[in-house]
Amino acid sequence: YYNENTVIYLDGKFVKANEASTDLYSQTMHYGYGVFEGIRAYAVENGTQVFKAEEHYDRLKKSAELINIPFDYNVQGLIEVTYELLKRNNLTDAYVRPLVFCDPNMSLARPNNVSIMICAWEWGAYLGDKQLRLTVSSYCRPHPRSIKIEAKVCGHYVNSILATNEAKDKGFDEALLLDSDGYLAEGPGANLFFEKDDVLFTPQLGNILPGITRATVLELAEELGIKVEQGLFKPEALAAADSAFYCGTAAEVIGIESVDDKKFPKAWNETLGKKLKDAYSKRVRQPKAVQEQL
Ligand code: PMP
Protein backbone atom coordinates (compact mmCIF):
# COMPACT_ATOMS: atom_id res chain seq x y z
CA TYR A 1 0.00 0.00 0.00
CA TYR A 2 2.85 2.38 0.59
CA ASN A 3 6.58 2.71 0.39
CA GLU A 4 9.16 5.20 1.60
CA ASN A 5 8.09 7.78 -1.01
CA THR A 6 4.33 7.59 -0.44
CA VAL A 7 2.63 10.77 0.68
CA ILE A 8 -0.67 10.90 2.55
CA TYR A 9 -2.91 13.80 3.49
CA LEU A 10 -3.35 14.25 7.24
CA ASP A 11 -5.24 17.14 8.82
CA GLY A 12 -4.36 19.82 6.33
CA LYS A 13 -0.85 18.66 5.40
CA PHE A 14 0.78 16.26 3.00
CA VAL A 15 3.16 14.05 4.95
CA LYS A 16 5.22 10.94 4.29
CA ALA A 17 3.14 7.83 5.02
CA ASN A 18 5.97 6.20 6.95
CA GLU A 19 6.48 9.29 9.10
CA ALA A 20 2.82 10.03 9.86
CA SER A 21 1.73 9.18 13.36
CA THR A 22 -1.44 9.12 15.39
CA ASP A 23 -2.50 8.83 19.01
CA LEU A 24 -3.47 5.36 20.19
CA TYR A 25 -6.10 6.63 22.64
CA SER A 26 -8.77 7.00 19.95
CA GLN A 27 -12.37 5.82 19.97
CA THR A 28 -11.78 4.72 16.39
CA MET A 29 -8.94 2.42 17.37
CA HIS A 30 -10.73 1.00 20.42
CA TYR A 31 -14.39 0.97 19.40
CA GLY A 32 -14.41 1.10 15.60
CA TYR A 33 -16.05 4.51 15.87
CA GLY A 34 -14.93 6.25 12.71
CA VAL A 35 -16.09 6.57 9.11
CA PHE A 36 -14.39 6.01 5.81
CA GLU A 37 -14.81 5.89 2.04
CA GLY A 38 -13.51 3.85 -0.85
CA ILE A 39 -13.15 5.77 -4.10
CA ARG A 40 -11.55 4.99 -7.44
CA ALA A 41 -9.68 7.28 -9.78
CA TYR A 42 -9.30 6.42 -13.46
CA ALA A 43 -7.11 7.63 -16.27
CA VAL A 44 -9.31 9.49 -18.75
CA GLU A 45 -8.36 11.14 -22.04
CA ASN A 46 -7.59 14.49 -20.40
CA GLY A 47 -5.87 13.26 -17.25
CA THR A 48 -7.05 11.57 -14.08
CA GLN A 49 -10.63 11.54 -12.88
CA VAL A 50 -11.90 10.68 -9.44
CA PHE A 51 -15.12 8.84 -10.25
CA LYS A 52 -18.22 10.14 -8.42
CA ALA A 53 -15.95 12.13 -6.10
CA GLU A 54 -18.75 14.34 -4.84
CA GLU A 55 -21.06 11.40 -4.12
CA HIS A 56 -18.32 9.67 -2.12
CA TYR A 57 -17.38 12.71 -0.04
CA ASP A 58 -21.06 13.52 0.49
CA ARG A 59 -21.53 9.99 1.80
CA LEU A 60 -18.49 10.40 4.07
CA LYS A 61 -20.08 13.51 5.53
CA LYS A 62 -23.44 11.81 5.89
CA SER A 63 -21.84 8.75 7.52
CA ALA A 64 -20.12 11.02 10.07
CA GLU A 65 -23.28 12.97 10.80
CA LEU A 66 -25.37 9.82 11.20
CA ILE A 67 -23.13 8.62 14.02
CA ASN A 68 -22.57 12.04 15.66
CA ILE A 69 -19.00 12.53 14.49
CA PRO A 70 -18.40 16.23 13.77
CA PHE A 71 -17.55 16.82 10.13
CA ASP A 72 -16.26 20.32 9.46
CA TYR A 73 -14.63 19.61 6.13
CA ASN A 74 -15.67 21.08 2.84
CA VAL A 75 -16.53 18.48 0.22
CA GLN A 76 -15.06 20.48 -2.69
CA GLY A 77 -11.90 21.08 -0.66
CA LEU A 78 -11.53 17.34 -0.04
CA ILE A 79 -11.95 16.65 -3.75
CA GLU A 80 -9.15 19.11 -4.55
CA VAL A 81 -6.96 17.48 -1.91
CA THR A 82 -7.63 14.09 -3.52
CA TYR A 83 -6.45 15.27 -6.93
CA GLU A 84 -3.34 16.79 -5.35
CA LEU A 85 -2.67 13.56 -3.44
CA LEU A 86 -2.85 11.53 -6.64
CA LYS A 87 -0.50 13.97 -8.37
CA ARG A 88 2.02 13.90 -5.54
CA ASN A 89 2.06 10.11 -5.66
CA ASN A 90 2.14 9.88 -9.46
CA LEU A 91 -1.07 7.88 -9.46
CA THR A 92 -3.73 7.79 -12.17
CA ASP A 93 -5.65 4.52 -11.86
CA ALA A 94 -5.89 4.29 -8.10
CA TYR A 95 -7.99 3.51 -5.08
CA VAL A 96 -8.48 6.40 -2.65
CA ARG A 97 -9.21 5.84 1.03
CA PRO A 98 -10.35 8.75 3.23
CA LEU A 99 -10.78 8.01 6.94
CA VAL A 100 -12.26 10.29 9.59
CA PHE A 101 -11.03 9.17 12.99
CA CYS A 102 -11.40 10.44 16.54
CA ASP A 103 -8.76 12.36 18.45
CA PRO A 104 -7.81 11.11 21.94
CA ASN A 105 -10.83 10.33 24.12
CA MET A 106 -11.62 7.00 25.75
CA SER A 107 -15.24 7.72 26.68
CA LEU A 108 -18.35 6.58 24.86
CA ALA A 109 -19.49 10.18 24.43
CA ARG A 110 -19.49 11.95 21.09
CA PRO A 111 -16.05 13.31 20.19
CA ASN A 112 -15.17 16.99 20.13
CA ASN A 113 -12.28 16.66 17.76
CA VAL A 114 -11.56 14.42 14.84
CA SER A 115 -8.84 13.99 12.25
CA ILE A 116 -8.96 13.12 8.59
CA MET A 117 -6.47 11.19 6.56
CA ILE A 118 -6.58 10.36 2.87
CA CYS A 119 -4.31 7.84 1.23
CA ALA A 120 -4.23 6.23 -2.19
CA TRP A 121 -2.63 3.25 -3.85
CA GLU A 122 -2.79 1.27 -7.05
CA TRP A 123 -5.31 -1.52 -6.62
CA GLY A 124 -6.29 -3.99 -9.31
CA ALA A 125 -9.75 -5.58 -9.46
CA TYR A 126 -10.52 -6.15 -5.78
CA LEU A 127 -12.31 -9.47 -6.24
CA GLY A 128 -10.26 -10.46 -9.28
CA ASP A 129 -11.88 -10.74 -12.67
CA LYS A 130 -13.01 -14.35 -12.59
CA GLN A 131 -16.66 -15.03 -11.84
CA LEU A 132 -17.25 -15.55 -8.15
CA ARG A 133 -18.31 -18.64 -6.26
CA LEU A 134 -20.37 -17.44 -3.30
CA THR A 135 -21.71 -19.03 -0.17
CA VAL A 136 -24.57 -17.72 1.92
CA SER A 137 -23.00 -16.58 5.16
CA SER A 138 -24.01 -17.77 8.61
CA TYR A 139 -23.54 -14.12 9.62
CA CYS A 140 -26.37 -11.72 8.80
CA ARG A 141 -25.91 -8.01 8.16
CA PRO A 142 -26.25 -5.91 11.32
CA HIS A 143 -29.84 -5.01 12.14
CA PRO A 144 -30.64 -1.42 11.10
CA ARG A 145 -32.00 -0.78 14.59
CA SER A 146 -28.62 -1.66 16.11
CA ILE A 147 -26.47 0.58 13.91
CA LYS A 148 -26.74 3.09 11.07
CA ILE A 149 -26.60 0.61 8.20
CA GLU A 150 -26.49 3.38 5.56
CA ALA A 151 -23.29 4.81 7.08
CA LYS A 152 -19.86 3.47 6.13
CA VAL A 153 -18.59 2.99 9.67
CA CYS A 154 -15.27 1.31 10.51
CA GLY A 155 -16.72 -1.06 13.10
CA HIS A 156 -19.35 -2.42 10.72
CA TYR A 157 -16.57 -4.12 8.81
CA VAL A 158 -15.98 -6.69 11.53
CA ASN A 159 -19.19 -8.26 10.20
CA SER A 160 -17.77 -8.14 6.65
CA ILE A 161 -14.44 -9.62 7.75
CA LEU A 162 -16.10 -12.49 9.65
CA ALA A 163 -18.27 -13.32 6.65
CA THR A 164 -15.29 -13.16 4.25
CA ASN A 165 -13.12 -15.37 6.44
CA GLU A 166 -15.91 -17.91 6.83
CA ALA A 167 -16.50 -18.04 3.06
CA LYS A 168 -12.78 -18.43 2.29
CA ASP A 169 -12.34 -21.07 4.99
CA LYS A 170 -15.12 -23.06 3.32
CA GLY A 171 -13.32 -22.78 -0.04
CA PHE A 172 -15.52 -20.10 -1.64
CA ASP A 173 -14.41 -16.80 -3.18
CA GLU A 174 -16.78 -14.54 -1.33
CA ALA A 175 -19.75 -14.40 1.05
CA LEU A 176 -23.35 -13.36 0.51
CA LEU A 177 -25.08 -11.94 3.57
CA LEU A 178 -28.79 -11.95 4.31
CA ASP A 179 -30.47 -9.39 6.54
CA SER A 180 -31.74 -10.40 9.97
CA ASP A 181 -35.15 -11.33 8.48
CA GLY A 182 -33.54 -13.69 5.98
CA TYR A 183 -33.86 -11.47 2.91
CA LEU A 184 -30.99 -11.07 0.47
CA ALA A 185 -28.81 -8.15 1.55
CA GLU A 186 -25.31 -7.72 0.09
CA GLY A 187 -21.73 -8.90 0.00
CA PRO A 188 -19.08 -7.95 2.57
CA GLY A 189 -18.10 -5.02 0.33
CA ALA A 190 -20.45 -5.00 -2.66
CA ASN A 191 -24.11 -4.81 -3.62
CA LEU A 192 -26.04 -7.63 -5.29
CA PHE A 193 -28.06 -7.75 -8.51
CA PHE A 194 -29.64 -10.77 -10.18
CA GLU A 195 -31.39 -11.39 -13.47
CA LYS A 196 -34.52 -13.38 -14.19
CA ASP A 197 -36.37 -13.37 -17.53
CA ASP A 198 -34.58 -10.20 -18.73
CA VAL A 199 -35.47 -8.21 -15.62
CA LEU A 200 -32.90 -7.17 -13.00
CA PHE A 201 -33.59 -7.41 -9.28
CA THR A 202 -31.71 -5.82 -6.42
CA PRO A 203 -32.34 -5.57 -2.67
CA GLN A 204 -34.01 -2.29 -1.74
CA LEU A 205 -32.35 0.27 0.51
CA GLY A 206 -32.94 -0.11 4.22
CA ASN A 207 -30.84 -3.12 5.13
CA ILE A 208 -27.80 -2.43 2.95
CA LEU A 209 -25.12 0.16 2.30
CA PRO A 210 -26.46 2.51 -0.41
CA GLY A 211 -23.72 1.76 -2.88
CA ILE A 212 -22.58 4.46 -5.26
CA THR A 213 -21.80 1.78 -7.86
CA ARG A 214 -25.31 0.37 -7.30
CA ALA A 215 -26.69 3.84 -8.09
CA THR A 216 -24.50 4.04 -11.22
CA VAL A 217 -25.66 0.57 -12.32
CA LEU A 218 -29.28 1.70 -11.87
CA GLU A 219 -28.56 4.76 -14.05
CA LEU A 220 -26.87 2.66 -16.72
CA ALA A 221 -29.70 0.11 -16.68
CA GLU A 222 -32.17 2.90 -17.29
CA GLU A 223 -30.10 4.25 -20.19
CA LEU A 224 -29.92 0.75 -21.69
CA GLY A 225 -33.66 0.20 -21.26
CA ILE A 226 -33.19 -2.63 -18.74
CA LYS A 227 -36.04 -3.02 -16.29
CA VAL A 228 -34.98 -3.15 -12.62
CA GLU A 229 -37.04 -4.06 -9.58
CA GLN A 230 -35.91 -3.12 -6.08
CA GLY A 231 -37.49 -5.01 -3.19
CA LEU A 232 -37.13 -7.61 -0.49
CA PHE A 233 -36.15 -10.93 -2.02
CA LYS A 234 -35.61 -14.31 -0.44
CA PRO A 235 -32.60 -16.50 -1.30
CA GLU A 236 -34.99 -18.77 -3.27
CA ALA A 237 -35.48 -15.95 -5.80
CA LEU A 238 -31.70 -15.83 -6.32
CA ALA A 239 -31.51 -19.62 -6.61
CA ALA A 240 -34.05 -19.44 -9.46
CA ALA A 241 -32.23 -16.57 -11.24
CA ASP A 242 -30.59 -16.76 -14.67
CA SER A 243 -27.49 -14.82 -13.59
CA ALA A 244 -26.18 -12.51 -10.89
CA PHE A 245 -23.42 -10.00 -10.18
CA TYR A 246 -21.83 -7.94 -7.45
CA CYS A 247 -20.93 -4.29 -7.79
CA GLY A 248 -18.90 -1.88 -5.72
CA THR A 249 -16.22 0.75 -6.10
CA ALA A 250 -13.36 -1.65 -5.44
CA ALA A 251 -14.94 -4.70 -7.11
CA GLU A 252 -16.53 -2.70 -9.99
CA VAL A 253 -19.01 -5.06 -11.72
CA ILE A 254 -18.20 -8.75 -11.36
CA GLY A 255 -20.17 -11.82 -12.37
CA ILE A 256 -21.30 -14.49 -9.91
CA GLU A 257 -20.89 -18.05 -11.12
CA SER A 258 -22.66 -19.83 -8.28
CA VAL A 259 -24.15 -19.55 -4.81
CA ASP A 260 -23.35 -22.66 -2.73
CA ASP A 261 -24.27 -25.62 -4.96
CA LYS A 262 -26.46 -23.59 -7.33
CA LYS A 263 -24.76 -22.59 -10.58
CA PHE A 264 -26.41 -19.87 -12.69
CA PRO A 265 -27.52 -21.23 -16.07
CA LYS A 266 -26.85 -18.25 -18.35
CA ALA A 267 -23.43 -17.85 -19.97
CA TRP A 268 -21.87 -14.69 -18.48
CA ASN A 269 -21.29 -13.10 -21.89
CA GLU A 270 -25.01 -13.19 -22.58
CA THR A 271 -26.14 -11.67 -19.27
CA LEU A 272 -27.41 -8.23 -18.39
CA GLY A 273 -24.55 -8.14 -15.90
CA LYS A 274 -21.97 -8.39 -18.70
CA LYS A 275 -23.70 -5.58 -20.60
CA LEU A 276 -23.65 -3.44 -17.47
CA LYS A 277 -20.04 -4.37 -16.71
CA ASP A 278 -19.02 -3.10 -20.16
CA ALA A 279 -21.14 0.04 -19.77
CA TYR A 280 -19.61 0.66 -16.33
CA SER A 281 -16.02 0.27 -17.59
CA LYS A 282 -16.81 2.80 -20.30
CA ARG A 283 -18.54 5.23 -17.97
CA VAL A 284 -15.74 5.44 -15.42
CA ARG A 285 -13.30 6.49 -18.15
CA GLN A 286 -15.54 9.13 -19.66
CA PRO A 287 -14.60 12.69 -18.73
CA LYS A 288 -17.11 14.12 -16.25
CA ALA A 289 -18.41 16.72 -18.70
CA VAL A 290 -19.42 13.90 -21.05
CA GLN A 291 -21.06 11.93 -18.22
CA GLU A 292 -23.13 14.95 -17.26
CA GLN A 293 -24.53 15.29 -20.77
CA LEU A 294 -25.78 11.70 -20.77
N1 PMP B 1 -21.93 -2.83 0.52
C2 PMP B 1 -20.91 -2.80 1.39
C3 PMP B 1 -21.07 -3.46 2.71
C4 PMP B 1 -19.72 -2.14 1.05
O5 PMP B 1 -18.70 -2.10 1.91
C6 PMP B 1 -19.59 -1.54 -0.21
C7 PMP B 1 -18.31 -0.86 -0.60
N8 PMP B 1 -18.29 0.48 -0.16
C9 PMP B 1 -20.68 -1.59 -1.09
C10 PMP B 1 -21.83 -2.25 -0.69
C11 PMP B 1 -20.63 -0.93 -2.42
O12 PMP B 1 -20.63 0.46 -2.27
P13 PMP B 1 -19.95 1.43 -3.31
O14 PMP B 1 -20.51 1.07 -4.62
O15 PMP B 1 -20.37 2.78 -2.87
O16 PMP B 1 -18.49 1.21 -3.24
What domains, with CATH codes, occur in the chain? 7-121 (3.30.470.10), 132-284 (3.20.10.10)
pLDDT at 241: 98
152 is catalytic: yes
Q: Taking 90 as the threshold, does the pLDDT of residue 289 lie above it?
A: no
As a whole-number percent, the residues of the chain with pLDDT over 90 amount to: 95
Please report how many Cα atoms fall inside a 13 Å half-sphere around the Cα of residue 231, on the Cβ side.
11
Ligand 1 centre from 19 Cα, in Å? Answer: 30
User: 53 C-alpha to center of ligand 1: Å?
Assistant: 15
* ipTM score above 0.90: yes
Q: Is 212 in the pocket of ligand 1 (CB under 6 A)?
A: yes
| Amino acid type, 262 | K
71: closest CA among 113, 37, 129?
113
CA of 273 to the centre of ligand 1 (A): 17
Cβ 141 vs Cβ 208: under 8 Å: yes
pLDDT given for residue 85 in this prediction: 98
Is residue 39 a contact partner of residue 96, using CB atoms and an 8 Å limit? yes
| Nearest-CA residue for atom 5 of ligand 1 | 189
Phi, psi angle pair for 153, to nearest 5°: -105, 135
